[in-house]
Structure formats: structure tokens, C-alpha cells
Amino acid sequence: MTPPAAAAPARDRAAQVADEETAQRVFTTSLLISATRCLLTYVLFPFVAPVIGIASGVGSTIGIVTSTIGIAANVWSIVRFHRADHRWKWPITAINVGVIGLLLVLMAIDLADLV
């Protein structure tokens, strides 16, 4: 039988691995959301939407919504990496902050287009 003192570090390590995996999954999701926003903004709306007759003003509105979702997902990714005390938390934080900055610029452009 394993002594309780030896079992505790194994549980702690398993919990840390699970937290790191969750943090990585959240990071991947946040980047996919940001990539989807860019795909919609730069491929679908400028080229495909006019061909199928969708109004051109729709792109800015959807861009604002998807930017907001992308920013929230990136913030959640930062929180998860730090909560898990992941070894890559600072490089991932820098990537997330860069993506958030780009999304804020794109959101400002979309807001200016609507005004």
C-alpha cells in the first residue's frame, strides 16, 4: 500500500498536467477564434459576400462581434496559463497580448467604418 505522503505529490502532478492541457486547449481555441475573424474579414466578406449578394456593411458589424469574442478568448487563455503555472505562460502571454492588440486595431477600424 502506498503511504498517503507519496500519493499526494502524484495527485498534485496529475492535476498540474490536467491544468496545463486545459490551458493549451484554451490557447488553441483563442487563436482559432482570432483566425476565423481574420478569415471572415479578409476573405469571405470582401470577395465572397458581394458575389452572393450580401450587403457590404455586414462585415464591420461581424468584425466587431468576432473581435470581442477573440479578445475574451485570449484573456481567458492568459488566465488559464497563469492559473496552471504553465512553464510557457510568459511566451504565451506575449503572443496573446499581441493578438489582442491586433484585434483592438481591427475593431477600431471596423468602428470607424460604421461611423
Task: Convert the pLDDT of each residue in 46-68 to its tens digit.
Answer: 677 666 666 556 778 888 888 89
Q: What is the largest CA-CA distance in the chain?
A: 71
Q: How far is CA 3 from CA 8, 12, 106, in A?
A: 9, 15, 56
- Give the number of domains in the chain: 1
Mean pLDDT estimate for the chain: 80
Give 13 or 67, the one with higher predicted confidence.
67
- Which domain does 98 fall in, by range? 4-114
74 and 100 Cβ atoms separated by less than 8 Å? yes
Positive or negative: CA dihedral 86, 87, 92, 97:
positive
Does the predicted TM-score (pTM) go above 0.85? no
